[in-house]
Structure 1
């Protein structure tokens, strides 16, 4: 959960340093109930804005959310290790290889005594020009509608995750989340770093679906996701048809707009102050304290060894938990 508390900082800095305004409305995500969150993947920064949105809705969600990511991200020194420590799920996007990994980690979540909300991007990647062209060719080849605002979702992994969580008795709700941008769309971390700008107006809509309302049959469940994405395309078409200053999603029947209370705002500032101070202390120690560089090198060596031997610290944990 310590990593979950840390994610509050980068999300908040997007607002306080770069001026991003994140708005979230709709149904409350219950941090005490296991669930699957599905969201369209417009940019590679969606998850960063989403941390800010979750903190507005309920700060505890930052500690209970788990993200399904591309497997290559686990190899990033430092950041990849931190995500592994938080038991994020890294997949190779080849179902025959990912199936056993999903089964093991979902069962681990179900048995460890904590309820998590797992974020899945059914599109498999962000809507960059290359992915958009691949989706267009896929639609053309299979006689499908060519989407303008989303990519065609991949259903195999979605169906497997839902059915596996059902079998483990570890899912109460599915949350359908839609992201849209009121101004410019900054596609990736590279664009963000090179130009020093980010989207200033980010919108999220959350719809809660009881798991009992989803089909039990695999094929019908896959078609349910396809239909959901078709509706999401129309929702986004309507969203982007408005002038930038007027863009917003409709609220759900029982939903509301979420803003931070004074207490939550103070908590956020305290978290930022804590991690900023911690970073400065570590930096001072690295530069001024003897053997700190050696300690850091040993730590990196341990993480690399665990990565090589067990494919990540999360899998070592799972093996120790259920040998």
Structure 2
């Protein structure tokens, strides 16, 4: 049990995910080089031999995806199919249509292709720009995929050329399609329903309406070269899986129902063919509806005679994909180890500095990468789609030292970090780096003198009204971080003023909130009532702990409210924010007892709320690595020159600078400790 727990813990480390990505990319690049070496076979007229080589080489790299899904993550896939149809899988050319509800749909299609021994020759339609991207793009180009410009006239000719080319294949192939064209989201579903209603079509409940033109072109163009049409419906038991969950080794169970029809059953006429794919999707929607209720497909059910002959088969794990996963892991990590050893033993100081910078900073990234933090956002599904797309005032509680870091992670997730603003002390604008960035970003700076600050706030509100880009104003109404001493003072104030004392927060200061909501009423759309809580003892973690890489899990619940619901009058607005904090207090009480918010709990006001894990942003990791290399390489070079060739005076000055930086670092961390005069 101890070993199993250790393995599961390793699977969740970000460095493990980066290592998996490194193995996939490196193995793909090696395969690309070998594939390019086979190109002369094509030009010498040995197209059949060339295609056989490409198909087998594709498998050497592509099998890592099914291997990671089945062996690493433990994903179980169950196939629902007629026994007679099952015997033909992988032995005939076909067009397959699959619904696209989650991130792992295409992964499941690769697992099925691997199971049917046709993964290396499974094809699809992709954007033309992809052919220039190494690894997958080059493999797709060498495998004679169909590349489109999304320009109907240009693409029509490309389709015709591709169909003509596919007709010359002696090897069996699958042509995979996602007619919805994009993954399901509530926002896209709303537009799909509007389109269906407008065009006299029946709306779908669980899927997007399919785009028919592409399917019609492909069905007509490949009619003489494929044997069958596979209608594949994929559903996940207990909710959709995500790519991050797969990398973290979190298992899930997937059901895949395939209805095989001869290609002759697909109508030739354009309108009838379009109606055919609509009917296919209506049936898929019914299947998805049944699966959501029963966690299975309706095989053997007398109410569904169409599926009475279907059987359930578990797709077994492919030992060859496991062997190749282990093989590439050994090859790629051995190359990395050899490069590391040779660089550290025989490389120049510049090479060593670059390598060290890469190693130290491939592990990290702010809270999410370095500390491997997990942050879950809770809210209504329809609200998630609007986060980052509208001007808003966000009111956060302030119990822990890391509250503001969690708010920055959420802002980054919503693609609004660069335009998330707050109210800052005036003196901060003169401090380099953060202070200057705040000033350039047009933050509002206050001197804490009410008359002067009122003018500054009004000028700031007027300036914000001219912003074309969406922005957030982040407010901590308590004005300082929670401590037991401050809570005692807060409760005394509450009792004195006839307010209900708070158990987990300080009584909010209402003047600032009132001024901001009044001043921004014309330029802000929404108020975000956001509550942050940490699981376990993570609430006691500090910025220093974060820098030490201590892991934590946080929950961020956001309630989106129209600013029109916030009263305008000072007294009523003050009472509104007090009521808001009473609700925050109840949420924190619930979280302390259950280590989670009551999202989805029946008979509560949060029963329609859902939670989702905020995925780690690989762009933040990229920029962290970039700046680390840019900054550490010159530093390493300067250190080497100073210590090896510098004079005693130069060495002493350098040492003093290093000690000053260390002192400044500790002063900065000490500044994060609560030192407010709250209540004095």
Which TM-score bucket, shorter chain as reference? 0.7 to 0.9
Q: State the Cα distance separating 1:130 from its structure 2 match.
A: 4.0
C-alpha distance in 2, partners of 1:70/1:134?
Answer: 23
Q: Deviations over 1:56-86 (max 9, x none)?
A: 3x2x121231122344544544332233333
Q: State the Cα distance separating 1:259 from its structure 2 match.
A: 3.7
Specify whether residues 174 and 260 from structure 1 end up closer, same or farther in structure 2 by C-alpha distance, changes over 3 A only: closer
Q: Is the 8 A contact 1:35 1:118 kept in 2?
A: yes
Q: Deviations over 1:214-265 (max 9, x none)?
A: 22222211111111111111111111122xxx4345275554433456xx74
Aligned length: 279
Tell me the TM-score normalised to structure 1 length. 0.75
Q: Is the 8 A contact 2:299 2:311 kept in 1?
A: no
**More deviation, 26-35/38-47:** 26-35
Q: Is the 8 A contact 1:36 1:118 kept in 2?
A: yes
Matches within 5 A, 1:53-72: 53-56=112-115, 58=116, 60-71=117-128
Is 1:205 the counterpart of 2:257 in the alignment?
yes
Specify whether residues 21 and 150 from structure 1 end up closer, same or farther in structure 2 by C-alpha distance, changes over 3 A only: same
Q: Is the 8 A contact 1:109 1:115 kept in 2?
A: no
Structure 2 equivalent of residue 24 of structure 1: 79
Is 1:12 the counterpart of 2:61 in the alignment?
no
C-alpha distance in 2, partners of 1:250/1:71?
Answer: 41
Other structure's SS at 1:158 match: helix
Structure 2 equivalent of residue 270 of structure 1: 323
C-alpha distance in 2, partners of 1:266/1:51?
Answer: 15
User: Gaps spanning 5+ residues in structure 2: where?
Assistant: 1-54, 301-306, 344-680
C-alpha distance in 2, partners of 1:149/1:198?
Answer: 24
Structure 2 equivalent of residue 279 of structure 1: 332
Q: Is the 8 A contact 1:33 1:171 kept in 2?
A: yes
Q: Deviations over 1:162-182 (max 9, x none)?
A: 11112xx21110011001110
User: Gaps spanning 5+ residues in structure 1: where?
Assistant: 291-323
Is 1:236 the counterpart of 2:288 in the alignment?
yes
C-alpha distance in 1, partners of 2:152/2:342?
Answer: 47
**More deviation, 11-20/170-179:** 11-20
Is 1:250 the counterpart of 2:302 in the alignment?
no
Q: State the Cα distance separating 1:87 from its structure 2 match.
A: 3.1
Bigger RCO of structures 1 and 2 (CA < 8 A, at least 6 apart)? 1
Specify whether residues 71 and 237 from structure 1 end up closer, same or farther in structure 2 by C-alpha distance, changes over 3 A only: farther
Superposed CA RMSD in Å reads: 2.9
Q: Is the 8 A contact 2:236 2:253 kept in 1?
A: yes
Other structure's SS at 2:330 match: helix
Which of 137, 161, 185 is the matching residue for 1:104?
A: 161
Q: Is the 8 A contact 1:40 1:178 kept in 2?
A: yes
Q: State the Cα distance separating 1:140 from its structure 2 match.
A: 3.2
C-alpha distance in 2, partners of 1:250/1:90?
Answer: 38
Matches within 5 A, 1:113-128: 113-128=170-185
Structure 1 equivalent of residue 277 of structure 2: 225
C-alpha distance in 2, partners of 1:197/1:144?
Answer: 41
Structure 1 equivalent of residue 589 of structure 2: none
Structure 2 equivalent of residue 91 of structure 1: 148
Specify whether residues 137 and 78 from structure 1 end up closer, same or farther in structure 2 by C-alpha distance, changes over 3 A only: same
C-alpha distance in 2, partners of 1:101/1:4?
Answer: 26
Q: State the Cα distance separating 1:3 from its structure 2 match.
A: 1.1
Specify whether residues 214 and 278 from structure 1 end up closer, same or farther in structure 2 by C-alpha distance, changes over 3 A only: same
Other structure's SS at 1:113 match: coil
Matches within 5 A, 1:168-207: 169-186=224-241, 189=243, 192=245, 196=248, 200-207=252-259
Specify whether residues 131 and 92 from structure 1 end up closer, same or farther in structure 2 by C-alpha distance, changes over 3 A only: farther
C-alpha distance in 2, partners of 1:202/1:192?
Answer: 14
C-alpha distance in 1, partners of 2:114/2:310?
Answer: 17
C-alpha distance in 2, partners of 1:127/1:159?
Answer: 22
Which consecutive aligned stretches of 4+ in structure 1 deviate over 6 angstroms post-superposition? none
Matches within 5 A, 1:135-174: 135-166=192-223, 169-174=224-229
Q: Is the 8 A contact 2:132 2:138 kept in 1?
A: yes
Is 1:48 the counterpart of 2:107 in the alignment?
yes
